[in-house]
Amino acid sequence: MTMEYATRYRNASRIPADPGRPYVIEQGEGDRAHLFGDLITVYAGGEQTENTFNFFTVEGPKGDIIPAHLHTDTHEVFYVTQGAVRLFAEGPDGKQLERTLTPGDFGFVPKNCPHAYRMERHHTRIVGVAAGPGGTFERFFETLGTPTEQLGLPQRPCVPEPHEFADAAAAYDVRFLPGLRWRTA
Amino acid sequence: MTMEYATRYRNASRIPADPGRPYVIEQGEGDRAHLFGDLITVYAGGEQTENTFNFFTVEGPKGDIIPAHLHTDTHEVFYVTQGAVRLFAEGPDGKQLERTLTPGDFGFVPKNCPHAYRMERHHTRIVGVAAGPGGTFERFFETLGTPTEQLGLPQRPCVPEPHEFADAAAAYDVRFLPGLRWRTA
């Protein structure tokens, strides 16, 4: 039996509208959105956890590094379950870290630390948890990108308009850092 | 370069003692503990996230169902990356759910919902996030079980003394429910 619910985010979601109920979502069937060439799937958000944490995946092809950014109030997990990810991060002392994560490897970026990543294999999947005392930010991706019912990666890149970056960033604790250079390479 | 830190939990941990620094932990190298036949590995705890969330894995062989229990203040994620897990959970209306999770499948158990699980394949791995407004509970496993430097599953089961269950449960928001029956089978 497959249950679907109307929520504030989707007409048909596998996440129950009533946050007190246990539930299961099969692989790929969470709330989906496209952003550039990637598929973001939300399995639990702030409503489910009293705003303490969320749980989502980011899947995509081998590609370019994403824009460097930081979150002033959000700690972030990067846990790779398929493919490979090059993670870039800068600590409060200005020291930079650059490491390749393969399945089972874990990366942690505390709030206020600039970071970026690059998928280094096709069919890469990152499990993400992104939250802090101010709440969770799992809906950033579909606000900047596009919610979808489709399963799988976007058939063509979903590219936001320039003004949409500023709007989504302001709403979801994202500060882009166009001047930041990764000196680790 | 492999960094190790002395923390309040381990003499040599890959989790930085300073919670503001980004870090990477390769597969299997988090803070490890044995409990019965399982290996629990903590990759991030409350210290890293201002007590908003944690991130750990539970790995084990095909085995028996664990004792039914609930958490009065903790929401819990079960995300399977290897093997298979049979998840049992009961909602606030008394309805019970029993589902098999295979890699990529996601289960969510809100606070106050009785639950249990059974690993149904050898080499199963569950990714867990367990937290709520009262904090995180990732050190339950090593408090009830035994911290270890060893990599891989325990060579013999690590069985706690009966009084240790009550002590660890009281300290980490776990209430065992010996009278609960799963009616779903």
CATH number of the domain that residue A116 is part of? 2.60.120.10
A100 domain residue, yes or no: yes
pLDDT interval class at B87 (50, 70, 90): very high
Q: Which of A22, A99, A103 sits opposite B115 (nearest CB)?
A: A22
B73 domain residue, yes or no: yes
SS3 B138: coil
Listed by number, the residues of chain B in 145-184 with a beta carbon closer than 8 Å to a beta carbon of chain A are none
A168 domain residue, yes or no: yes
- Nearest Cα neighbor of B174 from B92, B104, B93, B76 is B76
**Is the pLDDT assigned to residue B170 strictly greater than 90?**
yes
Residue B32 and residue B39 in contact, taking contact as beta carbons nearer than 8 Å: yes
A167 domain residue, yes or no: yes
A12 domain residue, yes or no: no
> Percent of chain B having pLDDT more than 70?
98
Q: Inter-chain contact B44–A77, Cβ cutoff 8 Å? A: yes
Output b/e per residue, B67-77; b: 16+ Cβ within 10 A: ebbbbeebbbb
- Nearest Cα neighbor of B45 from B59, B31, B33, B63 is B31
The model's pTM: 0.97
B112 domain residue, yes or no: yes
Q: For residue B82, what is the nearest residue in chain A, using CA coordinates?
A: A81
Residue-number span of the structural domain to which A87 is assigned? 32-149+161-176
A64 domain residue, yes or no: yes
The pLDDT of A34-63, averaged and rounded, is 98
B19 domain residue, yes or no: no
CB of A135 within 8 Å of a chain B CB? The answer is no
Total number of domains constituting chain A: 1
d(CA A81, CA A128): 11
- Nearest Cα neighbor of B110 from A13, A16, A129 is A16
